[in-house]
């Protein structure tokens, strides 16, 4: 049994041979995440590291490296005074504000392990996280959530009397006010950072699936530091960069790919946008001369649309990273022209593996592919349904293992059995093609393919074509149960403003046929919707959509 396993039974260890390899090759260092952060912040000195909304000061503030260190220290002392200590698990569900950063760093300081929940997570997800981790605290900017936080807090405390709930709303008398955590106090003595092993769990990320409750992904100190550092290199970040956090900050993409932690590596300036909506984000870009940000494709569409009617973002923007879902090639090509910046595609997952396109890649690869694995130590395989490697360029499931890819989910035997091969490869569930250059093209997800009369219908291909139709503003294609076909294909359509007369199914089928789509791929039914439901990070929630359509039709 490896040493890591003994240290932390909630973490499935890498085999000792790999541990030795990653250490000897310098991939994994010896620091804890907090030691690494403290070193970086000290390096900033009086230089600004963080700007953004402060929920406590109800305004925007900027902090230097040293000021942030001081605030983190105050917060760590306050957290300790609330009884939290090394090894405890807590749920962090904060909006994009400075306190998110202060709280996260302070938790790492005292060795408390945060579950990185998103503001979009609801009652079901938070309850599941609390129960699974036996959380000692839940920190929530309740104004950013869409459910009754006070009630859930009280309900959870019935099961978990140890749970402390920290909220923003002072009217919630049952709970503790978040601002107590950030208040400086004169009698606070210095506390030593917790002594933790760099191979143990630093934080728990939430898996990004579009079906079911997110699983928890243990990320160790040394693997997450590597993740951030290698991503900062892949994005060529430097000290004159200003990184805008436009996606929910607890998501792996804006947190460490390179995101907040990667910006620290490069001594760049981090700006927390309250929201990624273009009217807000463009104002931040101008105000802080932002050079780089990360978006999901649905947000790219919103930025492009807004840039047509308002002034596009300023010239400071050097490049945009786009990932989280497939970026349509036609949209990709519009980014340089209409937003005036380069595109970097990022195909990543909270489980680990990251792929980036690079600025020196040929244009065609930048627009058509989702990039190449980040690390020379990433192992990737593309396999068919029998587990055999497919020929280069053919579609198959992506499997991976490497120095920053998990070996097992947190406390989830069933998922671990289903998602990992005996030799430790994570079965991503993503259907990809790998080009001879090593670049990956994401084709879809195994579970999102509609199985219609035994044939696989790749819904994203249909969506990419249909979104170009003048009557369609937004579109998602889902499978619905069908006695005859097993599953039938349904196009859920948000009509564009210029098409009040609607669109017929026959027109849609005709349009797709003209684009060369095979007959079995054509939608069997259609349904009008007012909007496409999204997950907490902004991916199409196919499960919710199928449910909505079925409810409407029953």
Residues that bind ligand OOB (CB under 6 A): 207-208, 252-253, 257, 323-326, 345-350, 354, 370, 428, 430, 442, 445, 537
Q: Which residues, at least 6 apart from 514, have a Cβ–Cβ distance to it below 8 Å?
A: none
Minimum distance between the CB of residue 442 and ligand OOB, rounded to whole angstroms?
4
CB of 314 to ligand OOB, least distance (A): 25
Minimum CB separation of residue 541 from ligand OOB in Å reads: 12
Residue nearest ligand OOB, Cβ-based? 208
Whichever of 145 and 428 has its CB closer to ligand OOB, that residue is: 428
Q: How far is the CB of 402 from ligand OOB (least distance, A)?
A: 14
What is the Cα–Cα distance from 315 to 106, expressed in whole angstroms?
36
Q: How many Cβ atoms from other residues are within 10 Å of residue 552's Cβ?
A: 10
CB atoms < 10 A from the CB of 484, how many? 7
Nearer to ligand OOB, 153 or 208 (CB): 208
- From 487, 491, 382, 488, select the one nearest 442 (Cα to Cα): 382
Using the structure block, give the residue that is written with the tokens 């396993």.
5
Shortest Å distance, C-beta 361 to ligand OOB: 14
Question: Please, which residue, 323 or 396, has the CB nearer to ligand OOB?
Answer: 323
Closer CB to ligand OOB, residue 439 or residue 509? 439
Tell me 540's DSSP state: B
Closest CA to 120 of 31, 23, 214: 214
Give the residue with the Cβ less far from ligand OOB, 70 or 544. 544
Helices (H) and strands (E) in the chain, counts: 18, 25
The nearest distance, CB 407 to ligand OOB, in angstroms, is: 16
How would you write 387-432 as a 3-class SS string?
Answer: CCECCCCCEEEEEEECCCCCCCCCCCHHHHHHHECCCCCEEEEEEE
Rounded to the nearest whole angstrom, what is the least distance from the CB of residue 191 to ligand OOB in the complex?
A: 33
Closer CB to ligand OOB, 78 or 400, in the complex: 400
CB–CB of 365/439 below 8 Å? yes
**CA 25 to each of CA 20, 29, 118: distance values in angstroms, whole numbers, following the listed order:** 8, 10, 35
């Amino acid at each position: 049994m490896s040493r890591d396993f003994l240290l932390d039974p909630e973490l499935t260890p890498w085999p000792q041979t790999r541990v030795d390899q990653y250490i000897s090759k310098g991939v994994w260092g010896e620091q804890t995440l907090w030691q690494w952060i403290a070193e970086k912040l000290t390096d900033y000195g009086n230089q600004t590291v963080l700007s953004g909304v402060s929920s406590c000061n109800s305004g925007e503030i900027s902090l230097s490296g040293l000021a942030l260190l001081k605030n983190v220290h105050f917060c760590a002392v306050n957290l300790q005074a609330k009884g939290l200590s090394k090894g405890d698990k807590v749920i962090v569900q904060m909006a994009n504000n400075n306190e998110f950063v202060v709280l996260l760093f302070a938790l790492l300081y005292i060795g408390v392990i945060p579950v990185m929940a998103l503001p979009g997570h609801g009652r079901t997800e938070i309850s599941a996280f609390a129960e699974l981790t036996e959380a000692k605290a839940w920190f929530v900017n309740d104004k950013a959530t869409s459910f009754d936080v006070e009630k859930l807090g009280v309900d959870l405390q019935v099961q978990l009397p140890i749970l402390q709930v920290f909220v923003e709303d002072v009217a919630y008398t049952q709970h503790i006010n978040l601002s107590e955590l950030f208040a400086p106090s004169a009698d606070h003595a210095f506390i030593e950072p917790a002594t933790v092993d760099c191979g143990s769990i630093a934080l728990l990320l939430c898996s990004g699936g579009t079906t079911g409750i997110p699983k928890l992904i243990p990320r160790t100190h040394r693997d997450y530091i590597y993740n951030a550092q290698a991503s900062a290199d892949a994005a060529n970040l430097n000290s004159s960069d200003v990184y805008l956090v436009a996606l929910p900050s607890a998501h792996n993409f804006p947190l460490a790919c390179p995101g907040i932690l990667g910006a620290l590596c490069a001594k760049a300036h981090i700006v927390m946008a309250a929201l990624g909506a273009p009217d807000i984000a463009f104002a931040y870009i101008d105000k802080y001369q932002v050079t780089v940000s990360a978006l999901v494709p649905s947000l790219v569409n919103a930025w492009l649309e807004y840039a047509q009617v308002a002034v596009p973002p300023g010239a400071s923007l050097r490049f945009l990273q786009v990932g989280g879902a497939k970026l349509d090639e036609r949209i990709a090509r519009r980014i340089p022209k209409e937003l005036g910046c380069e595109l970097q595609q990022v195909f990543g997952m909270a489980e680990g593996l990251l792929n980036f396109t690079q600025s020196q890649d040929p244009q065609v690869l930048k627009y058509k592919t989702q990039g190449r694995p980040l690390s020379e130590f990433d192992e990737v395989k593309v396999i068919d349904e029998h587990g055999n490697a497919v020929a280069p360029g053919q579609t198959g499931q992506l499997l991976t293992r490497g120095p920053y890819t998990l070996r097992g989910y947190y406390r989830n035997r069933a998922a671990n059995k289903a998602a990992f091969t005996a030799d430790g490869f994570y079965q991503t569930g993503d259907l990809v093609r790998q080009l001879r250059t090593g670049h990956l093209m994401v084709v879809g997800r195994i579970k999102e393919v509609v199985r219609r009369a035994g044939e696989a219908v790749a819904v994203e291909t249909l969506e990419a074509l249909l979104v170009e139709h003048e009557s369609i503003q937004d579109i998602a294609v889902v499978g619905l149960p069908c006695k005859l076909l097993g599953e039938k294909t349904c196009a859920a359509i948000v009509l564009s403003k210029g098409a009040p007369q609607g669109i017929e199914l026959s027109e849609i089928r005709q349009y797709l046929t003209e684009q060369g789509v095979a007959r079995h791929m054509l939608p069997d039914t259609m349904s009008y919707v007012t909007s496409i439901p999204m997950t907490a990070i902004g991916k199409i929630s196919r499960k919710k959509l199928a449910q909505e359509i079925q409810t409407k039709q029953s």
